[in-house]
Amino acid sequence: MIGYQLLERAPLRARNTFGVEATAALLADVRSPAALAELLDYPLVRQSEVLILGEGSNLLFAGDFDGVVIAPATTGIQIIEEDADRVRVRAEAGERWDDLVRWSVGRGLHGLENLALIPGSVGAAPIQNIGAYGADISQSLAFVEAFDRDQHVHRTLAAADCVLGYRDSLFKREAQRWVVTAVAFDLRRSADLRLDYAGVREEIAAMGVESPRPLHAAEAISRIRARKLPLPSLLGNAGSFFKNPSVPSAQSEALADRFAELPSFADGDGKQKLSAAWMIEHCGWRGFREGDAGVAAQHALVLVNHGHASGAQILSVARRVADSVEQTFGVALEPEPRIIGARW
């Protein structure tokens, strides 16, 4: 069996959660590591710009993509090592992230429960070190298997070599170099749950659970997420459109004098992280709509496509949102999703 399937002038609307129209000059779903190496060795592919595509839940196509889109499609979740305390689990890049979370909490394992219901593929999880509800994957990552396009070899990178940060990693910084093919996590048979994020304990109590296990934490967080964030299948979006900005403490204190309610959190190194959602809402954008592009009524940090907005129209709203936040607060917002076909 040939390990990949090629499509020319491939439509991408069903492959991005904003649901915007775009085409790729060439698209390949790749089903084995050998096929990936073979495909990346073609002169045409070596000379083209390459975009690695998971489920398209953190991308905005502002135009067509004139290069080669490669979608890793290998699947499988396996325990590769275990002892009395720890279980090392390896998952292929093409698995759905939430399926891995369900697989782990279903076995009573600790480590991924706070990351329940984050859309996307396992292969994309290290790209921005996905995080939510007081956790991110850096706390449980064991290693990443990736194809290195510079050296043309498969490599295994230890967690410490992945340079994971807030919505950041080596793979994000060197996007043309790496194709993540599998990810492994060290999960615990027992550990304290991280339930401090606002609303999580209350949700578990409302579920009538007195001694929560990872399964309950995942369920509580899924319920909160389902209330807070629009479902991409009903309303196109890519989750948070902007990162929460980190500013020097002096700047955050000066802002607190003017905006006493602006949420801010210690971010190490004399910095404070500010709530982008709060600032955007304060500027009056929540629920804004122009044509089919807009800002979610449910959550001010989420840009949405009500049906037939183009990526360029969504980007235009994003720029105006960021400009008004900069004028009001003196803080520059940076997009979280990767923008294809335009510069921020």
| Interface residues toward ligand EPU, by CB under 6 A | 132-133, 198, 228, 239-240, 243-244, 263, 275, 277-278, 281, 286, 299-301, 336
Tell me if residue 249 is catalytic.
no
| Cross-strand pairs, 302 | 240
Of residues 226 and 254, the one with the C-beta less far from ligand EPU: 226
Is 253 catalytic? The answer is no
Tell me, by CB under 6 A, how many residues bind ligand FAD: 35
Query: Does 237 interact with ligand FAD (rule: CB under 6 A)?
Result: yes
Least distance from C-beta 204 to ligand FAD, angstroms? 19
Q: What gap in Å lies between CA 337 and CA 328, rounded to an integer?
A: 23
141 forms beta bridges with 185
For 90, the enclosing helix (H) or strand (E) is: strand 86-92
CA distance 317 to 293: 7
Place of tokens 């502002």: 62
229 binds ligand FAD (CB under 6 A): yes
Give min distance, CB of 2 to ligand FAD, in A.
20
317 CB-side CA count, 13 A: 28
- Enumerate helices (H) and strands (E) in the chain, giving the number of each: 9, 20
3-state secondary structure of 99: helix
3-class secondary structure, 97: helix
Give the nearest distance from C-beta 77 to ligand FAD in angstroms: 16
Binding mask 186-225 for ligand FAD (x = CB under 6 A): ----------------------------------------
Interface stretch with ligand FAD, choices 32-40, 53-61, 186-194, 305-313 (CB under 6 A): 53-61
Q: Are 324 and 49 contacting, i.e. CB atoms less than 8 angstroms apart?
A: no
**Does the CA dihedral 99-57-7-13 come out positive or negative?**
positive
Residue with smaller CB distance to ligand FAD, 76 or 330 = 76
Q: How far is CA 286 from CA 28, 55, 229, 267, in A?
A: 38, 26, 13, 26
* Start-to-end C-alpha separation, the chain: 42
Q: Is 167 a catalytic residue?
A: yes
**Catalytic member of 138, 140, 240, 275:** 240
Among 232, 245, 294, 335, the residue binding ligand FAD under the rule CB under 6 A is 232
Tell me how far the alpha carbon of residue 227 is from its chain's centroid: 19
Instruction: Find, among 108, 107, 115, the residue nearest to 137 by Cα.
Output: 115
Which residue is closest to ligand EPU by CB? 239
Q: Which of 30, 37, 39, 51 binds ligand FAD (CB under 6 A)?
A: 51
Among 12, 52, 101, 304, binds ligand FAD (CB under 6 A): 52
Binding site for ligand FAD (CB under 6 A): 17, 51-59, 72, 93, 118-121, 123-125, 127-128, 130-132, 171, 175, 178-180, 229, 232, 237-239, 338
Q: Among all residues, which ones are annotated catalytic?
A: 167, 240, 336
